[in-house]
Amino acid sequence: MDKKISERKLNKLFELNKKIVLEDDCASRVIIISECIKDILKVDRCTIFAYDEENNSLWSVYIDGLSYLELPNEKGIVAQVFQTKKSMIVDDVSRSEFFNPQVDKASGYVTRSILAVPILGYNNRVLGVMQLINKIDGSNKFNDEDESVLAYVISHISAYLELIMQGK
């Protein structure tokens, strides 16, 4: 992490580390991480997508507000992040060429801003994408510190996600 992270967020990340070390189940660890990152970064929703090579799609391992979501790997912000292996901050999704409004239309939810970061596994292989939706801290905008915090958290999630994808 080359960007500075506030002391408050670092302390919360240390607390998160303690929680996940005490949990034996990988799926439960992913839930704990997702819930904590929402609190640390003050966001409304979090989704963790895993790549399904057979169907060339991204499916929700963890999702707020819906029971399950599968997205094609050709369209949308999540697909763009997956394909490029680069994080993306979108402060106004209505101005993004990559935003796919279909999920909002189907769910009735209104997405305003997104931070999406690739989840990289062994040999820099893309396993999926972690997406945070709608900052609720008053600024309504994601920043470099948010991206750094999320990248740190993803370094933990990647190992658990690989185990989940292997059925362990």
Do the domain assignments include residue 74? yes
pTM of the model: 0.84
What letter represents residue 167's amino acid?
A: G
Q: Please indicate whether residue 146 or residue 123 has the higher confidence score (pLDDT).
A: 146
For residue 111, the number of C-alpha atoms closer than 13 Å in the C-beta half-sphere is 28
Do the domain assignments include residue 25? yes
Least confident of 22-26, 120-124, 126-130: 22-26
- Give the mean model confidence (pLDDT) for residues 117-131: 90
Owning domain of residue 97: 7-165
Do the domain assignments include residue 1? no
The 8 Å CB, 24+ separation contacts for 158-163 are: 158/119, 158/120, 158/121, 158/127, 159/121, 160/26, 160/29, 160/30, 160/33, 161/30, 161/48, 161/50, 161/61, 161/119, 161/121, 161/127, 161/128, 162/121, 162/122, 162/127, 163/26
pLDDT of the residue at 21: 73
pLDDT of the residue at 1: 42
CATH number at residue 55: 3.30.450.40
pLDDT of the residue at 114: 96
Per-residue burial over 76-98, b if 16 or more Cβ lie within 10 Å, else e, is: bbbbbbbeeeebbbbbebeebeb
Do the domain assignments include residue 2? no
Note whether 48 and 20 are within 8 A (CB).
no
Query: Taking 90 as the threshold, does the pLDDT of residue 147 lie above it?
Result: yes
SS3 12: helix
Note whether 60 and 69 are within 8 A (CB).
yes
Do the domain assignments include residue 144? yes
Number of domains in the chain: 1
Query: Taking 70 as the threshold, does the pLDDT of residue 66 lie above it?
Result: no
Do the domain assignments include residue 65? yes
Q: If residue 76 lies in a helix (H) or strand (E), which one and from where to where?
A: none
Place of tokens 């970064």: 41
What are phi and psi for residue 118, nearest 5 degrees?
-70, 145
Highest mean pLDDT pick, 51-65, 106-120, 152-166: 106-120
Do the domain assignments include residue 161? yes
Non-local (6+) Cβ contacts of 144 within 8 A are: 3
pLDDT of the residue at 103: 83
Do the domain assignments include residue 64? yes
